[in-house]
């Protein structure tokens, strides 16, 4: 069971020689608390620094490897800046980042977790410094008072924000594929690609619905002709992806079954091979090799 602390109280712990752990519980759901910590429309409204300061610059690229930059400015035009990089972004549970203040402050690695129980969220922030000396210098800089005041502003701001309506679970299960001749398309998808026929029905008015599922997939396709509301011309669907573990073996298997598959293209470490059905709807085999990460911008 998740344990929560007392509202309005910030606790500080020293779990190691280099770390400070800060815990605060707020009366708000964690999805909202996570968003208020990570979205540029929220942060400048509560993370404003000492009295008389504002945050005129709030830049956030919320993804692993994404950068962030916050600039605070006083009424006398003094400025303080924090810049850093996100390493883990797991909404609404966890953030891991590294950051450094402007000036001579060394970089820290920060881990923030959000745990909800009975509508309250406990925010646990662990800041790891490069040394005990760096940690102690931060503690002596007024860090505790500043963080406590910041959490108080966070609580006040959360009370003014309406939580977003939670979305129910949604599953993508069926992709319509427009064809001119269902029988010809069925011969290709079942006979050449090895898709399994789930349903093949004729609801009337000359229409026909044939549902098939690729091997190992939880999403299916439906071959259709003359269905009301689905008016894509045959052959106009583009770039449906079939994700495979080994694109070369998958391509060879399709070639052996009589499917014309183009060569393998390497686009930034992600592999693709294209083919089309008899109507011209296009498909891509895709392989993301193990250990690959998002390409750098």
pLDDT-derived band at 104 (thresholds 50, 70, 90) equals confident
Return the number of other C-beta atoms located less than 10 Å from residue 287's C-beta. Answer: 23
Q: How is residue 188 annotated by DSSP?
A: I
Instruction: Supply the CATH classification number for the domain 181-287.
Output: 3.10.180.10
pTM summary value: 0.61
Tell me, what DSSP letter sits at residue 7?
B
CATH assignment, 10-158: 3.30.530.20
How does strand 265-267 pair with strand 10-13?
Answer: unpaired
User: Alpha-carbon distance 130 to 115, whole Å?
Assistant: 27
Question: Which phi-psi region, left, alpha or beta, contains residue 86 (left: φ > 0; alpha: ψ -120 to 50)?
Answer: beta
The yes-or-no verdict on residue 230 having pLDDT over 80 is no
pLDDT at 38: 96
Rg (CA), the chain: 27
pLDDT at 297 over 50: no
Domain borders along the chain are 10-158, 181-287
Lowest average pLDDT, out of 55-59, 138-142, 212-216, goes to 138-142
- List the strands of the sheet with 196-204, edge to edge: 174-178, 220-225, 207-213, 196-204
Q: Which one has a higher pLDDT value, 238 or 8?
A: 238
- Closest to 237 (Cα-Cα) out of 288, 180, 190, 198: 180
Tell me the mean pLDDT in the region 184-199.
96
Question: Tokens 């797991």 label which residue?
Answer: 90
Mean pLDDT of the chain, nearest integer: 91
What percent of the chain is helix, strand and coil (3-state, nearest 5)?
A: 20, 40, 45
């Amino acid at each position: 069971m998740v344990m929560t602390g007392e509202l309005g109280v910030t606790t500080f712990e020293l779990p190691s020689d280099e770390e400070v752990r800060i815990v605060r519980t707020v009366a708000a759901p964690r999805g909202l608390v996570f968003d208020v910590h990570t979205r540029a429309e929220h942060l400048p409204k509560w993370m404003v620094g000492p009295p008389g300061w504002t945050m005129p610059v709030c830049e956030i690229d919320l993804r692993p490897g994404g950068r962030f930059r916050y600039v605070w400015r006083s009424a006398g035009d003094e400025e303080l800046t924090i810049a850093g990089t996100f390493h883990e972004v797991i909404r609404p549970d966890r953030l891991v980042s590294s950051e450094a203040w402007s000036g001579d402050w060394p970089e820290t690695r920060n881990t923030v977790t959000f745990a909800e129980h009975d509508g309250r969220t406990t925010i646990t922030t662990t800041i790891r410094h490069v040394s005990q000396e760096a940690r102690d210098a931060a503690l002596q800089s007024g860090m505790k008072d500043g963080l406590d005041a910041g959490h108080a502003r966070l609580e006040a701001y959360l009370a003014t924000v309406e939580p977003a309506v939670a979305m129910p679970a949604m599953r993508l299960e069926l992709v319509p594929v427009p064809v001119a001749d269902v029988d010809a398309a069925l011969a290709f998808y079942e006979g050449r690609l090895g898709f399994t026929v789930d349903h093949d029905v004729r609801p009337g008015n000359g229409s026909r619905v044939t549902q098939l599922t690729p091997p190992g997939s939880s999403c299916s396709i439906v071959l259709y002709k003359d269905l009301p509301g689905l008016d894509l011309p045959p052959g106009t669907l583009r770039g449906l992806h079939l994700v495979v573990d080994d694109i070369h073996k998958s391509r060879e298997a399709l070639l052996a079954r009589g499917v014309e598959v183009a060569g393998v293209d390497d686009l930034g470490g992600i592999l693709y091979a294209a083919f089309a059905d008899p109507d011209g709807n296009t498909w891509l085999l895709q392989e993301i090799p193990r250990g690959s990460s998002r390409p750098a911008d």
